[in-house]
Amino acid sequence: MNKTANISTPTIVALQMCSGLSPDDNLASLKRALKTLPTARPLLVCLPEAFLVFSKSGNDTLRVAKQVERYKLQLSELCQHHNIWLNAGTIPEPFNEHKYYAASHLYHNQGELVATYNKIHLFDVNVDDQTGSYRESDFTQAGSDVVVVDSPFGKIGLTVCYDLRFSGLFNELVRQGADIILVPSAFTVPTGQAHWQPLLTARAIETQCYVVAAAQHGTHENGRQTYGHSIIISPWGNILSELPTGTGFISCNADLDQLQKIRRDMPVQSHQRFREHLL
């Protein structure tokens, strides 16, 4: 079931997906979803982490990375056709013959790639689920650049999934002017149940930004299970929209005047006495 806010412009949408092994199938699912979205423009569509391919192994993902340009062309064409801005969750971009970046691309409505963020914090952890051990760094190259970009929706800061646990990155994004922070994700079920909403709410409150988290949900072809609960949170920490399970979308209209009022009334950044170092 889709849950949407009252439609006015500009509008931000987070799309919840259950991506599989085939990039072509995942793109077909995206194309079907885009036909159901709000008609208001400008419109920003946010996709989850690994939306293009949710592989069984790093080698499988690496093979997709070597063909990524044809998929990026299709994303560009979709932006033009639907007149949308698109944050393409993550797609694998080649780093070398053995590794790829988990790249979060932002396209504008004319199909131009206007920003790319490469996931900085890699998920090398043990989790009490059926997968057990996750070692992203075996095949993924960590990024290093903090990315904030101007848009009709406000200044957008880019992050990915596990980055959520590192407040220093989020504080740096807001110091660079972010109004909206995107968190495309594929959280595990145990970590999602314990930490997903508290972390997202904390990041929104401490940065006084809108936080938009498009998530993967369900049991995937690769055997993974993901938590879902795509969510949009206001700069005051209120949940504006949420989709706990299934596939579909949520939306909101970012009120930047209200955001600025919150920052004027409680000028947290100017009160900050400690400046964390990102790296």
Please pick, among 119, 155, 209, 252, the residue that the annotation labels catalytic: 119
Token pair of 88, please? 């393409």
Amino acid at residue number 145: D
CB 216, CB 17: distance < 8 Å = yes
The answer to whether residue 278 scores a pLDDT higher than 50 is no
Please pick, among 161, 172, 209, 252, the residue that the annotation labels catalytic: 161
Please pick, among 18, 46, 49, 93, the residue that the annotation labels catalytic: 49
Q: Any catalytic annotation for residue 136?
A: no
Q: Could you report the per-residue pLDDT of 39-73, keeping only the tens digit for each?
A: 999 999 999 999 999 999 999 999 999 999 999 99
CB under 8 Å to 31, separation ≥6 — which residues? 78
Q: Could you report the per-residue pLDDT of 132-175, keeping only the tens digit for each?
A: 999 999 999 999 999 999 999 999 999 999 999 999 999 999 99
User: Coil, strand, or helix at residue 119?
Assistant: coil
What pLDDT is attached to residue 273? Answer: 87
Q: Any catalytic annotation for residue 119?
A: yes
What pLDDT is attached to residue 275? Answer: 67
Whole-number average pLDDT of the chain: 95
Q: In sequence order, which ranges of the chain are alpha helices (DSSP H)?
A: 23-34, 58-65, 68-82, 167-175, 189-191, 197-207, 256-265, 268-271
Q: Any catalytic annotation for residue 49?
A: yes
Is 3.40.50.150 the CATH classification of the domain at 11-267? Answer: no
Q: With bands split at pLDDT 50, 70 and 90, how would you rate the model's confidence at 276? A: low
In order, the DSSP letters of 212-265 are: EE-BBEEE-TTS-EEE--EEEE-TTS-EEEEE-SSSEEEEE---HHHHHHHHHH
- % of the chain with per-residue pLDDT over 70: 95
Q: Could you report the per-residue pLDDT of 257-266, keeping only the tens digit for each?
A: 999 999 999 9
